[in-house]
Amino acid sequence: MTKAYKYSIVYFLVFSLLLILSGVLLFEYKIGFSVEQISSYYLGDEDKFINPQTSSSILKIITPHIFAFGLFIMVLLHFLIFTKKRSSKTLKAVIYLTFLSAILELLSPFGIINNIEFFAYVKLLSFIIFELLVLFSSWLLFRSIVYE
Amino acid sequence: MRFTLIKDLKQDSMMKPILSGLLIFTLLYLISDIFVKSSSFGIFEEMIKTTLFGNEAEFLDPITTSAFLEFWHMEIFFIMMILLTLSAVFIRLSGAKGFNIIIVNAVMISALISLVALLLSFFLNAAFVQLYILSFFSWHVCAIYMSLYSLVRLYYD
């Protein structure tokens, strides 16, 4: 990898951190980091004047995210293939877990609006795991750029 | 990113039109982004401040926090993907030496500053709007230069 490409990737990692920050802020402002807040955001809350979400409103939000998540994860993780971590079990686990947490994060709202409270936990947990895995992948990539 | 592996892009009859298309689309996006922002969010101080903080005299409401964060979130995603792709093509075609490596750094840093300045102007101090405008135009100018330079290198060098 030439030095110039390494610059681009490091900047990409900084953008990724901003993306994570904006995702966390959005989650906090729009939904909230508790199971009760997640449930009331999707099921509605008369006291807080929150309208319940419908399948179509959820679909409208997740459709661009499905593509964006896939593209972002692919771009971020494929850089790790060019590092010494290429054949490691850790990388394989990170790849599967990142995609799995992303898909659970996107689809769990459908469970919530069908009154299955379990999916509120899934939403919260998958969001946190996804963000942590992106941070971990970014750290692995940054370390390999600096030290390899 | 297959184009990073092809030895001579200028002689490759398949990759050359593909990269040309990508660069032209990127160029169009950068130009239309300026027009879209000028008619919606604003690209000059007064309009941006009205969008962010509203205007009591004209009974205009400020943007809500969640709407602002959604806008900021989308901006980050688009900018990071465009600049990663564009810089990869530019580095491959320019050889990334001297002035061109400065341009790559300049486009990335100014884009990052524009995003951070936008956040700070909404949550911290309206004075950051000026920094946002400066960095917004800086990264657009650099990115337009990179697209045009890459196109020229693809055909005339």
DSSP string, chain B: -GGGT-S-GGG-TTHHHHHHHHHHHHHHHHHHHHHHHHHTT-SSHHHHHHHHH-BTTTTBPPPPHHHHHHHHHHHHHHHHHHHHHHHHHHHHHH---THHHHHHHHHHHHHHHHHHHHHHHHHT-TTHHHHHHHHHHHHHHHHHHHHHHHHHHHHH-
pLDDT digits (tens, 9 = 90+) for B42-97: 999 999 999 999 988 888 899 999 999 999 999 999 999 999 999 999 998 887 77
Q: Find the residue in A nearest to B82 (Cα).
A: A12
Nearest to B118 by CA among B25, B19, B42, B36: B42
Confidence of residue A86 (pLDDT cuts 50, 70, 90): confident
Residue B152: inside a domain, yes or no? Answer: yes
Confidence of residue B4 (pLDDT cuts 50, 70, 90): low
Q: Please count the residues of chain A.
A: 148
For residue B1, the distance in angstroms to the closest alpha carbon of chain A comes to: 10
For residue A3, the distance in angstroms to the closest alpha carbon of chain B comes to: 9
Say which of A2, A11, A68 has its CB closest to residue B77. A68
Residue B70: inside a domain, yes or no? Answer: yes
| Residues of chain B positioned with their CB less than 8 A from the CB of A5 | 4, 88, 91
Quick check: B24 pLDDT over 70? Answer: yes
Q: Find the residue in B nearest to A31 (Cα).
A: B66
SS (H, E, C) B63-75: CCHHHHHHHHHHH
Question: For residue B41, what are the contacts with CB-CB under 8 A and spacing of at least 6?
Answer: B47, B48, B51, B71
Please provide residue A117's backbone torsions phi and psi, each rounded to the nearest 5 degrees. Answer: -60, -30
CB contact, 8 Å: A139 with chain B?
no
Instruction: Identify the residue among A10, A13, A14, A18 best suited for mutation to test binding to B, counting B beta carbons within 10 A and taking the highest.
Output: A18
Give percent of chain A above pLDDT 90. Answer: 75
pLDDT digits (tens, 9 = 90+) for A5-23: 888 999 999 999 999 999 9
Q: Find the residue in B nearest to A28 (Cα).
A: B66
Task: Name the more confident of A89 and B115.
Answer: B115
Residue B38: inside a domain, yes or no? Answer: yes
Confidence of residue A1 (pLDDT cuts 50, 70, 90): low
| Residues of chain A positioned with their CB less than 8 A from the CB of B108 | 7-8, 11, 14
What gap in Å lies between CA B48 and CA B52, rounded to an integer?
6
pLDDT digits (tens, 9 = 90+) for A101-141: 999 999 999 999 998 989 999 999 999 999 999 999 999 99
Task: Name the more confident of A7 and B11.
Answer: A7
Q: Phi-psi bin for B8: left (phi > 0), alpha (psi -120 to 50), beta?
A: beta
Please give the average per-residue pLDDT across A2-7, as a whole number.
81
C-alpha dist (Å) from residue B69 to B25, B64, B93:
27, 9, 36
Query: What pLDDT shows up at residue A3?
Result: 76
| Residues of chain B positioned with their CB less than 8 A from the CB of A12 | 80, 84
Domain residues for B72?
13-156
Mean pLDDT rounded to a whole number for chain B: 91
Number of domains comprising chain B: 1
Structure letter (DSSP) for residue A2: -
Residue B56: inside a domain, yes or no? Answer: yes
Nearest to A78 by CA among A130, A136, A141: A141
Nearest to A107 by CA among A87, A91, A122: A122
Contact B87 A19 (CB under 8 A): no
Contact B104 A5 (CB under 8 A): no
For residue B33, the distance in angstroms to the closest alpha carbon of chain A comes to: 19
